[in-house]
Amino acid sequence: MISSFYEKIVGSSSQESNIPKILCVGLTCLDIVQTCKRFPKEDSDLSSVEHRWQRGGNASNTCTVLSLLGDSCEFFGWLSSKEHFNFLQNDMQKYKIDFSHCPLTEDYSCPVSTVILSLSSGSRTIIHHNPNLPETALEKFKELNLLEKFKKLNLLDYSWIHFEGRNTTETISMIQYVEAFNHSLIKETPNNSQFKNLPKDVPITISVELEKPKSSLLDLLPYADVAFISKDFAKSRGYNNMSETLKHMSLEAKSGATIICAWGDRGAMARTPHGIMVQSPAYPPLRIVDTLGAGDTFNAAVLHHLNKVKTIFIEREKIIQAIPENSDEILNLNIGSKHEIKYNHNIESLEYCKTKFITQATLQEAITFGCHIAGAKVGIRGYDGLNKVFGNKSEMVIS
């Protein structure tokens, strides 16, 4: 239903490429993955069943999956021309991930994760090393400041920015910059219904992933429209399940935030801006092959779905503005909830773009879709082939 409506308003087809870009801010690293029959004993000598190198890092993995789902997406994070980074950049190119605005420095060597996958338990054990940028390098050039580079982005290109919660101070300063951009949009919106620029000049939705069990990440919560809370983070706060996590986290989030929590084979749960809980079971594959990046896959699938819903929502608002009389056809469309349509819209507020597109129904669809795609992912090695899974699942979930 959504896609046929979408075709009506944009004229031709519901090409995913019409949907504005998603930017993921975070880290890319080299993953060295050893698949073993079981997790090794300390000080033992074990042969692995298989080994591979792959591009990793949460934001970078999320981009891979977004790209496979047909979104245009960009990665923003430190790169260097040092060894291994060539491999990472070539791989991003292969997956059509834009990385053209990344800060680049010779002083940065590649972060590396060593990962042990256990076939007997399905666990993934990660040892991560991130060589921090030397302070001297940071002081040398203003260019090397992540925020300065971030400010060079043309924010009109993005409808959504996802932050992998890492350095809290740095992340907040980037979010504040986005906030200022949002405000400038509101000021520049013409006084009288000139909505022709609306699809591009859309306020940016911010999502944040609280992944590492570091309590300082909590400071990011009040800035997020959509927050992903990992089970590792939840456990570090002493929560035992998803509903407890959502209940407590919503107290720290900004009002109107959407909070999402995934929990391995228990699936995922989320809380709408109005405090309604939705839940999806996991969809395990016949055989668990590779759980590395399941969380990143889930996040990407949810972002994909919500960004699509947002785009359609904004297109609809545009049509409603353009058609003065009530049209039954538009009123009956099952996107978002009817009572939120404002016919005499106050364009100065731009309020409707906030998170009104996230309703109980759209959030339910998003996490169900996330669990389907993440479930499919744990059944395959790496990410290749997810686009085919998506081909089968997309119709089901969208309609």
Ligand X SMILES: *[C@@H]1O[C@H](CO)[C@@H](O)[C@H](O)[C@H]1NC(C)=O
Coil, helix or strand at residue 262? strand
386 binds ligand ATP (CB under 6 A): no
3 binds ligand X (CB under 6 A): no
Q: What angle do CA 321, 161, 274 make, to 5 degrees?
A: 65
Q: How far is CA 71 from CA 26, 58, 175, 252, 362, in A?
A: 18, 17, 22, 31, 18
Region from 17-25, 166-174, 292-300, 308-316 binding ligand ATP, contact rule CB under 6 A: 292-300
Which residue in 103, 203, 267, 370 binds ligand X (CB under 6 A)?
203
Indicate which of ligand X, ligand ATP, none lies near residue 292 (CB less than 5 to 8 Å, by partner kind): ligand ATP
Indicate which of ligand X, ligand ATP, none lies near residue 262 (CB less than 5 to 8 Å, by partner kind): ligand ATP
55, 90 contact by CB (below 8 A): no
329 or 348: CB nearest ligand X:
348
Which residue in 102, 314, 378, 386 binds ligand ATP (CB under 6 A)?
378
190 or 391: CB nearest ligand X:
190
Main-chain phi, psi angles of 74, to 5 degrees? -135, 145
- The H or E element spanning position 150 is helix 146-150
Distance CA 152, CA 211 (A): 27
Which residue in 284, 318, 319, 361 binds ligand ATP (CB under 6 A)?
284
Shortest approach of ligand ATP to residue 265 CB, angstroms?
4
Question: How many angstroms from the chain centroid is the CA of residue 275?
Answer: 21
Indicate which of ligand ATP, ligand X, none lies near residue 86 (CB less than 5 to 8 Å, by partner kind): none
80 or 280: CB nearest ligand ATP:
280
336 binds ligand X (CB under 6 A): no
Q: DSSP secondary structure string, 292-335? A: TTHHHHHHHHHHHHHHHHHHHHHHHHHHHHH--S--HHHHT--S
Shortest approach of ligand ATP to residue 245 CB, angstroms?
12
268 binds ligand ATP (CB under 6 A): yes
Distance CA 361, CA 373 (A): 18
Residues 197-256 that bind ligand ATP (CB under 6 A): 230-231
Which residue in 277, 288, 330, 397 binds ligand ATP (CB under 6 A)?
288
Which residue in 170, 219, 252, 265 binds ligand X (CB under 6 A)?
170
Six-digit token string for 137: 């390098």
Instruction: Enumerate the β-bridge partners of residue 206.
Output: 161
Residue 112 one-letter amino acid: V
Residues ≥6 apart with Cβ < 8 Å to 203: 182, 185, 186, 350, 353, 354
Interacting residues toward ligand ATP by CB under 6 A: 122, 124, 230-231, 262-265, 267-268, 282, 284, 288, 291-296, 298, 371, 374-375, 378
Residues found near ligand X in the complex (CB under 6 A): 27, 29, 56-58, 113, 126, 128, 146, 167, 169-170, 175, 178-179, 182, 191, 203-206, 211, 225, 230, 240-241, 243-244, 295, 350, 353-355
